[in-house]
């Protein structure tokens, strides 16, 4: 079998990032693409014609062997995950993704895969370096001494190490990106698995449609993050896969904002001013997290460039339209008055 006859495999292809990655590979002229996800096809974020789309359970080793058969490159994105509300309440489910990572690495090794990409997360970083909203941007070495996000973060860190040792012991070329809060159109925006930008956009849409002009914010809103737009995520992923760097690399924006600032930006885009209700007992994660892109720039001569304003404008418009398609002018079933006890008028 020649290289041109071999498959490129994307797992988690029914998810937000996976769907965009398959679309990008098609734009790049790849035609032997195998897209795999455990969800039924009608639940995939994107389904592309001309692709070997498969609904399969990758927690089983024999399934992974079928997926990797004849493959030259694997993008391993499959995982049970979501936003902070999900990962803080589904820690065991998140850790069970280790079955997928283990079996995919074994299958890639045994099937002669040439390059294996692993989608890790900024949740691997040590918690004691993220206690201040004015956090110093995290460098790749800040994952150690290990104190990862409980559940999801530990699983990601363990699988990073496993990928490293598969390279050292078996010669499997591995590449690893630590994604920082990826967002954009065609992502989850309700149901509990959505990330903060999508959740905030949905809440602002609901405030506009309800004309109540109020919004609930988890925590005190002072926690900080950086948010990576999906186009930059896909571009960075491809650059990391094609690079010679086998160590984990940050893939995130370095534009640090507070959740309050994120809400303010969504308000500006929507043209509204909202009363803010705070839910101090809601899941919020670490106090601050940002991406140091020094190593990424050194390796790829590139870093994310799409501003939060640009990306959030596109995301808000898409969520607004998606909301109207699903619910018309009515409010969705998850809508409820803010539960927070504290208010601040603006």
57: CB partners within 8 A, 6+ apart: 38, 63
- Of 321, 89, 96, whose CA–CA distance to 208 is shortest? 321
Q: Which residue out of 118, 125, 152, 229 is catalytically annotated?
A: 152
- Of 301, 201, 304, whose CA–CA distance to 256 is shortest? 304
CA atoms within 13 A on the CB side of 162: 21
Q: How far apart are CA 323 and CA 326, in angstroms?
A: 5
Q: Tell me which H or E stretch contains 282.
A: none
**Catalytic residue list contains 327:** no
User: Assign residue 279 a region: left if phi > 0, alpha if psi is -120 to 50, beta otherwise?
Assistant: beta
Q: How far apart are CA 61 and CA 144, in angstroms?
A: 30
Peptide bond into 145 cis (omega under 30): yes
Place of tokens 């993704």: 97
268: CB partners within 8 A, 6+ apart: none
Secondary structure (3-state) at 329: coil
- Of 231, 248, 236, whose CA–CA distance to 318 is shortest? 231
Residues designated catalytic: 152
């Amino acid at each position: 079998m020649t290289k041109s006859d071999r498959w490129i495999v994307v797992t988690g292809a029914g998810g937000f990032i996976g769907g965009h990655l398959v679309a990008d590979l098609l734009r790049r002229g790849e035609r032997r693409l195998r897209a795999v996800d455990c969800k039924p096809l009608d639940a995939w974020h994107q389904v592309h014609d001309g692709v070997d789309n498969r609904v399969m359970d990758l927690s089983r080793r024999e399934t992974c062997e079928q997926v990797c058969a004849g493959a030259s490159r694997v993008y391993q994105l499959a995982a049970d995950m979501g936003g902070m509300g999900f990962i803080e309440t589904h820690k065991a489910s998140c850790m069970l993704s280790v079955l997928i990572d283990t079996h995919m690495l074994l299958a890639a090794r045994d099937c002669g895969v040439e390059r294996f990409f692993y989608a890790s997360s900024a949740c691997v970083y040590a918690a004691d370096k993220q206690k201040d909203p004015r956090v110093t941007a995290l460098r790749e070495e800040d994952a150690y001494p290990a104190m990862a996000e409980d559940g999801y973060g530990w699983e990601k860190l363990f699988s990073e190490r496993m990928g490293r040792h598969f390279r050292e012991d078996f010669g499997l070329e591995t590449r690893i990106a630590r994604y920082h809060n990826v967002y954009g159109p065609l992502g989850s925006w309700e149901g509990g698995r959505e990330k903060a930008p999508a959740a905030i956009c949905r809440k602002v849409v609901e405030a506009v449609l309800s004309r109540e002009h109020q919004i609930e914010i988890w925590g005190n809103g002072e926690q900080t993050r950086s948010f990576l737009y999906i186009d930059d995520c896909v571009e960075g992923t491809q650059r990391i896969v094609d690079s010679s760097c086998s160590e984990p690399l940050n893939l995130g924006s370095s534009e640090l904002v507070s959740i309050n600032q994120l809400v303010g930006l969504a308000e500006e885009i929507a043209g509204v001013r909202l009363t803010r209700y705070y839910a101090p007992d809601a899941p919020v994660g670490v106090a601050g997290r940002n991406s140091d892109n020094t190593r990424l720039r050194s390796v790829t001569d590139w870093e994310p460039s799409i501003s939060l304003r640009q990306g959030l404008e596109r995301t808000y418009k898409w969520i607004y339209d998606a909301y109207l398609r699903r619910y018309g002018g009515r409010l969705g079933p998850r809508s409820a008055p803010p539960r927070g006890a504290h208010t601040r008028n603006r």
